[in-house]
Structure 1
Amino acid sequence: MDIRLSTATGRWVVLTTVLGSSMAMLDSTVVNVALPHIGDDLGADLAGLQWTVNAYMLTLAGLILLGGALGDRYGRRRVFVIGVAWFALASLMCGLAPNATLLIVARALQGVGGALLTPGSLALIQASFHPDDRARAVGLWSGFGGVGAAVGPFVGGWLVDGPGWRWVFLLNVPLAAVCLPVALRHVPESRDPGAHGRFDVLGAVLGALSLALVTYGLIDMSWWAGAAGVMAGVAFVAVERRRAEPMLPLSIFSSRQFTAVNLVTLCVYAAFSGFFFLAALQLQVVAGYSALAAGTALLPTTLLMLTLSARSGALGERIGPRIPLTVGPLVCAAGVLLMLRVGPAASYPTDVLPATLVLGLGMVTLVAPLTATVLASVDTARAGIASGINNAAARAAGLLAVAALPLLVGMGPEAYRVPEEFAATFRRAMPLCAGVLVLGALLAFTLVRRPALPCCHPECRVQCGVGAPTLESPVVGPVERGRVRGTADEQD
């Protein structure tokens, strides 16, 4: 396709992809703020709140690579439209759920829709626009998506305190009602003519099953489920090793740089997910903030990422990834520890704001160079699958962190209803999150040695990757990818 950005069709394509990706992005940032109200309204204990978050991340992490492959084979617009419709219907189910069990089921279905629409949103831009306009279009997509992530907690808090927590999910329905007809009318279809062979359905099922069983084992303290999850994980690796066209090509980990950056990703996004899950509860349960105040309190972190990521990406290009990937997690760890100052009647300017500013500066330092290094650590033909693996790793890390952290700090099933008990366990949880970030910094300092080649992608420069790194499309050629290549000796 050679659509120009200056045309009406070009603007419609950008609008459609921004609306679609914003649905998934908003959902990942606003739900934490609504959790105390969901628990009170539906009578859910802490495990119910954990599953409300994790059911979505579970299916999204387990199926996102398969979703991208389906788009390449059957049409990116088709799969994107199916994903948007699926996501909207699942959101409607969430908003109407009469109990916690049905809400969790609906959240899992939301994750399936997210796995279909998330890879397709950027892939549609990459495949539709003229090469001369592609970078600008991706920059608009990334920038507007960042704005959506920034306003998400504020909008979520306003909805929870106003019409109620159900509108956090119901908001997706009118967004989809705008997105779907525009996509069908104005967005051209595209597919990869080289996509062939069988889909790795068995690999996708085993991967999702492994994550589900391990998560269940951690939340419900079930050793047999955890053991079964580990066995399913071993079977997943065995299947992927033997597949001619695996969902997760294990040979990609022959790049030492790629393996190192994914280890860092596991650490930092586990810490981020655990922090944001508990911080939203701490601000409301212990500090007495409203949902709107809690959402607004965490806003500086995302605003800093939105405004300073371009400079961070440029700095990473000049000095290489090792220093940013080492310093960034350490600064984030300091921000996490500053949250220990947040207690009953906490002052926002003196207690909350310093923590969010320091955390935001650390994330600015870290996230854009991390994405660029992932793309630069493998050859051009594998940049898309490399980014997909990194994105899935981040979401899986968050999934396991939200499941494991309450168990590790002894948080009881009714802790979020007892401010004193929750505050005590929160004080034990923050040093754990900080320790995982320090581990990520040590891994980066030890293993990330080779400087990455410059990455010219706009999506590596404008980052709001609170939940996961930016997902890169696999459909762009070497020139459009800014000649991001891994060196030969990195592939051994």
Structure 2
Amino acid sequence: MRIDETRNRGGFVSIARLLSRLTHSNSARSDKLDPHLLRVAGVVVLGAFMSILDTTVVNVAIRGLTKAFQAPLEMTQWISTGYMLALTTIIPLAGWAADRFGTKRLYLASILLFVTGSVLSGAAWSMPTLILFRVLQGLGGGMILPTGMTLLSHLAGPQRMGRLMGIVGMPIVLGPILGPTLGGWLVDDVSWRWIFFINLPVGVIALYAAHRVLERDDPKPHHTLDWLGVLLLSPGLAIFVYGLAETTAAGSFRSLIGDGCVLGGLALIVGFVLHALRRDDALIDVRLFGRRVVASAACTTFLLSAAVFGISILLPLYFQMVRGYSAFDTGVLVAVEALGAVTSMPLASYLTDRIGAGKIVLAGIACITLSVLILSMIGDATPIWTIEVALFLEGLGKGSTMMPATSAALGTLRKHEIARATSGLNAIQRAGGAIGTALLAVVLTRGISRVAPVDGTRNLHTGVISRGDDYFPLTLGQVFGHTFLWSLGIIVLAACSAMLLLNSKAAIGNEEPISPGD
């Protein structure tokens, strides 16, 4: 009897060992980026690059478009503002639409809408029609990135999320940097219409590739739309961003329209949060952001977006206003930031899957901090190589922060939670970028008004600014340096938030996510 029990026990042990080996083998295989997954990532990168590039490529064409259509600058600015508002408004709907109609269908529809808006924008015959078509373009562009990230998250699983987010992060980092360079070249040497027409061939390739590569997923018609959430969040985000744009244009936080829209938008957003906490199928499941890793990632990316987007606005202005470079030359100088991001992003993505996001994000924040400290000391005659070193360091930091933090958050979610969480993370990042841009633009405007007051005189050669009996021993370059210091405080707050990501690898590998109903 004992012999039989021993044999049975030995058999069970052998079977257990065999299953364990098979499990480890499958785990090792699933940890690799297989060709199909890389093809899907390529499709997502194509779409994301179009959407993000078009956010900045138009900025250098504003002055030329004002002359081409004989329109006032206040009206021409709506080419960028209308696109940004449409982009912000539609993002919250992406998660629900992905569940309701299927992720592949939504991705194809988003690219088609974006390309259609691009072609119509390039063929616009007046300023009002161009603004209208840009809004159409923004409605498509706003859904491309969150839908693409949802596609990858479903396929990758937590063990490959870091590396895939590194691939998708390339257009997110490169788009704002390459946009002004490409836009400046097209406007100077070709035609402003080609800043829109260039999306047609890329969009056609992206549509064909998405149709062939992406697997069809089943829609869930029973997912009803949270209408109250739509009426609260989408207008709230749009009004909030519009208020920040008005504040930026006014150059102070004393704009009645700007301040009113900011407060009104915030009230609607807070109303949505209170509504979503009481509803299981809310437009964005805000209860997911109550988890440590997701909340930390959201807060970190929000603050980093505020700091980094603000800096990306300041540097081109510095090169043009202080150093006198053209739009194209400015784009070339800023492009070294892309070199830093391309250098760090693959390594950061690989290490995120190995040691967790926390250490990688903190290392990236350290690089950005050093970069901002260098930029805070610039003046009118700072050597260009010093600024380029700072830009390269900032690129290293950007490549090591945004996507690793996002991958840490998505890696803790269940499949059915990813779509709506992705929409929330994208909306938070957009809001952070808008806030940072407005804040640093206002600080810069106030600084310039002190250096070059309307009723005073300015001597840039001596650096002494006179206004009546007052003297301001500042140069225009130093005003930019002082403005960079404001972003340093934001980065320090981001570092504090990123501390909570230090155990994110354990969370990705072991934490069982809590369901919305728990």
Question: What range is the shorter-chain TM-score in?
Answer: 0.7 to 0.9
The question of whether the paired residues in 2 share the 8 Å contact of 1:14 and 1:141 is answered with: yes
Relative to structure 1, the CA distance from residue 137 to residue 272 in structure 2 (aligned partners, 3 Å threshold; closer, same or farther) is closer
Q: Any idea what SS the aligned residue of 2:283 has?
A: coil
Secondary structure class of the residue paired with 1:252:
helix
5 Å matches for 1:162-181?
A: 162-180=189-207
Q: Deviations over 1:167-190 (max 9, x none)?
A: 222311232244445655x35662
- In the other structure, the counterpart of 1:441 is 495
Q: Which residue of 1 aligns with 2:13?
A: none
Whole-angstrom CA distance in 2 between matches of 1:411 and 1:195: 52
Q: Give the aligned partner of residue 472 of structure 1.
A: none
Instruction: Quote how far apart the aligned CAs of 1:59 are.
Output: 3.0
Counterpart among 404, 407, 432 of residue 369 in structure 1: 404
Partner amino acid, structure 1, of 2:99: D
1:450 aligns with 2:517: no
Partner amino acid, structure 2, of 1:198: T
Letter in 2 for 1:235: G
State the 1:454 CA deviation. Answer: 8.0
Residue matched to 1:266: 302
Q: How does 1:305-384 map to 2 (within 5 A)?
A: 305-317=341-353, 319-340=355-376, 344=380, 347-350=383-386, 352-379=387-414, 381-384=416-419
Cα RMSD, aligned residues only: 4.3
1:346-390, CA deviations, whole angstroms, 9 ceiling, x for partnerless residues?
Answer: 65323x311111212222332343123212444565344434322
The question of 1:108 aligning with 2:135 is answered yes
Between the aligned partners of 1:322 and 1:135, the Cα distance in structure 2 is 14
1:396 aligns with 2:422: no
Decide which of 244, 265, 272 is 1:229's aligned counterpart: 265
- The alpha carbon displacement at 1:117 in A equals 2.7
Q: Does 1:190 align with 2:216?
A: yes
Cross-structure match for 1:286: 322
- Of residues 84, 87, 99 in structure 1, which corresponds to 2:114? 87
Assess, with a 3 A threshold, how the Cα gap between structure 1 residues 119 and 151 changes in structure 2: closer, same or farther.
same
2:101 to 74, 87, 96: 74
Question: Do the aligned partners of 2:60 and 2:184 also contact (CA within 8 Å) in 1?
Answer: yes
8 A contact 2:92–2:283 mirrored in 1:
yes
State whether residues 24 and 114 of structure 1, in contact with CA within 8 Å, keep that contact through their aligned partners in structure 2. Answer: yes
The one-letter code of the counterpart of 1:436 is I
Deviations 1:44-73 (A, max 9, x none): 888778755454343323322422432332
Distance 2:262 2:84 in 1: 18
Alignment partners' CA distance in 1, 2:482 and 2:161:
45
Asked if structure 1 preserves the Cα contact closer than 8 Å seen for 2:232 and 2:272, the reply is: yes
> Deviation string for 1:433-488 (max 9, x for gaps)?
2221122113333x445343386xxxxxxxxxxxxxxxxxxxxxxxxxxx574577
Normalised to the residue count of structure 2, the TM-score between the two structures is: 0.72
* Deviation (angstroms), 1:229: 1.7
Decide whether aligned partners of structure 1 residues 485 and 92 sit closer, same or farther in structure 2, where only a CA change above 3 A counts: farther
* SS at structure 2 position matched to 1:453: helix
- Report the alpha carbon displacement of residue 268 of structure 1 after superposing the two structures with TM: 0.6
Q: Distance in 1 between matches of 2:371 and 2:272?
A: 37
C-alpha distance in 2 between matches for 1:41 and 1:302: 32
Structure 1 residues 366 and 404, CA gap change in structure 2 (3 angstroms): same
**Structure 1 pair 41–442 and aligned structure 2 pair: CA distance change class (3 A):** farther
Count of residues paired in the alignment = 452
Q: Is the 8 A contact 1:288 1:345 kept in 2?
A: no
2:421 is matched with which residue: 382, 386, 404? Answer: 386
SS in 1 for 2:445: coil
- Note if contact 2:146-2:422 (Cα within 8 Å) is conserved in structure 1: no
Contact map agreement 2:95 2:422 (CA 8 A) in 1: no
User: Which residue among 7, 15, 21 is the counterpart of 2:48?
Assistant: 21
1:146-157 map, 5 Å = 149=175, 152-157=179-184
Structure 1, unmatched stretches of 5+, are 456-482
Q: Distance in 1 between matches of 2:367 and 2:243?
A: 32
Contact 1:83 1:116 in 2 (8 A): yes
| 1:306-355 residue CA offsets vs partner (Å, 9 max, x unmatched) | 232232234445554444433432431331343346555765323x3111
Structure 1 CA distance, aligned partners of 2:376 and 2:264? 36
Of the three residues 394, 405, 408, the one matched with 2:440 is 405
State how far apart, in whole Å, the 1-side matches of 2:320 and 2:180 are. Answer: 13
Shift of residue 236, structure 1, vs aligned partner: 1.5
8 Å CA contact 2:102–2:220 kept in 1: the answer is no
3-state SS of 2:319 partner: helix
Shift of 1:83: 1.5
Q: Is the 8 A contact 1:324 1:366 kept in 2?
A: yes
Conservation of the 8 A alpha-carbon contact between 2:100 and 2:223: no
Task: Return 145-154 or 70-79, whichever deviates more.
Answer: 145-154
Cα 1:287/1:50, change in 2 over 3 Å:
farther
Task: Give the unaligned 5+ runs of structure 2.
Answer: 1-32, 247-254, 461-474
Secondary structure of the residue aligned to 2:506 is coil
Alignment match, 1:475: none
Deviation per residue, 1:66-91 (Å, 9 max, x gap): 22432332233432232222212322
Which deviates the most, 302-311 or 11-20? Answer: 11-20
Contact 1:60 1:114 in 2 (8 A): yes
**C-alpha displacement at 1:422, in angstroms?**
7.0
Amino acid at match of 1:238: L
Contact 2:104–2:216 at 8 Å: present in 1 too? yes
Among residues 176, 183, 206, which one is paired with 2:232 in the alignment? 206
* 1:242-294 alpha-carbon deviations (Å, 9 max, x no partner): 33301111221221232122111111101111111222222223322222222
Query: Conserved in 1, the CA contact under 8 Å of 2:111 and 2:140?
Result: yes
Question: Given that residues 153 and 299 in structure 1 are in contact (C-alpha distance below 8 angstroms), is that contact kept between their aligned partners in structure 2?
Answer: no
The answer for the alignment partner of 1:462 in structure 2 is none
Q: In the alignment, what sits opposite 2:249?
A: none
Give how far 1:431 is off: 1.3
Matched, 1:254 2:280: no
Query: Which letter does structure 2 place at the counterpart of 1:264?
Result: T
- Secondary structure (helix, strand or coil) at the match of 1:248 reads coil
* Identity fraction in percent: 29
Residue number in structure 2 paired with 1:479: none
Q: Match of 2:190, SS?
A: coil
Q: State the distance in 2 between where 1:113 and 1:333 align.
A: 35
Tell me, in whole angstroms, the C-alpha distance in 2 between the residues paired with 1:46 and 1:428: 28
How much does 1:303 deviate? Answer: 2.5
* Separation in 2, partners of 1:244, 1:136: 29
The offset of 1:193, in angstroms, is: 4.6
